[in-house]
Amino acid sequence: EAQVTQNPRYLITVTGKKLTVTCSQNMNHEYMSWYRQDPGLGLRQIYYSMNVEVTDKGDVPEGYKVSRKEKRNFPLILESPSPNQTSLYFCASSSLPTAEAFFGQGTRLTVV
């Protein structure tokens, strides 16, 4: 079954404690991206990756890092989380940026 898997689904953490949200896809897609969803703001792109070792900033990259060491995985790293990073995060993959994107189930992060 074609899918994008994010982990964890829910996470509560404290300010400053580094965390990683994993994302894995099994469709051999080259394009992957991370979004955060906040009420009234829709989905905002954090980072995207056109291929292995190729990553670039989206619209709201501050406070986040990503890596793309292999095609299937695209982890999102928060080196020093802050409360304003409390949000619902989605990972997505597609063959091209304009092709159908497959989204993960989301990770609800709370930073206290």
Partner 1 sequence: GQQLNQSPQSMFIQEGEDVSMNCTSSSIFNTWLWYKQDPGEGPVLLIALYKAGELTSNGRLTAQFGITRKDSFLNISASIPSDVGIYFCAGPPLNAGGTSYGKLTFGQGTILTVHP
User: Contact positions toward partner 1, by CB under 8 A?
Assistant: 4, 31, 33, 35, 40-45, 48, 50, 56, 58-59, 90, 92, 97-101, 103-106
Q: How far apart are CA 79 and CA 2, in angstroms?
A: 30
Query: How much helix, strand and coil, in percent to the nearest 5, is found in the chain?
Result: 5, 50, 45
As measured in angstroms, the least distance from the Cβ of 21 to partner 1 is 14
Read off the tokens for 6: 């994010």
Q: Of 101 and 111, which CB lies nearer to partner 1 in the complex structure?
A: 101
Minimum gap (Å) between residue 83 Cβ and partner 1:
22
Q: In this complex, which beta carbon is closest to partner 1, that of residue 15 or of residue 87?
A: 87
**Residue 54 near residue 68, CB atoms below 8 Å:** yes
